[in-house]
Copies of this chain bind each other. A is one copy, B any other.
Amino acid sequence: MNVLVLNGPNLGRLGSREPDVYGTASHADLVAYCTQAAESLGLSVEVRQTDSEAELIGWLHEAADAGAAVVLNPAAFTHYSYALRDACAMVPGPLIEVHLTNPASREDFRHTSVVSAVANGVISGFGVFSYILALQAVAALAPNEG
């Protein structure tokens, strides 16, 4: 199965951004980890990052058209982008929301996700490993989906 791993705003700064919060792995490291994990799971993965809500929406449309699974870290869009939510709702395959940190133990505004309700599942708090778990979930869910 094809999987799009989609990262939202500011995630391109991984490694340099508050490393005590987000860890020291860079976005390139994240791409490498995901690629390697996908391979071992027999998944084909593509990892992208954008600060643009519109571009992120476009990628979700692409996933919808391609029947691809999605691992989505909406970053701060999590808390207000209903446009992203509507795009997520169009994705028929498994769509998994991931977070590097555990939003529930951070600022109040991070406790609300407008996206979760249209995701299949949510994984948060394990740093880069959240993505690896999500890929495993995709691998496990995929047979049930397609």
Q: Which residue numbers of A lie inside 8 Å of B, CB to CB?
A: 8-10, 12-13, 16-18, 50-55, 57-58, 61, 64, 75-77, 79-83, 85-87, 89-90, 96, 102, 104-105, 109, 113-114, 116-126, 129-130, 132-133, 136-137, 140-141
Sampled A-B contacts (28; CB under 8 Å): A8-B83, A9-B57, A9-B83, A10-B61, A10-B86, A13-B61, A16-B90, A18-B90, A51-B53, A51-B54, A51-B57, A51-B87, A52-B54, A76-B83, A77-B82, A79-B82, A80-B82, A102-B116, A102-B120, A102-B122, A104-B122, A105-B119, A120-B126, A121-B126, A122-B122, A122-B123, A123-B124, A132-B140
Q: Is the CB of B140 within 8 A of A126?
A: yes
CA distance A124 to B101 in the complex (A): 15
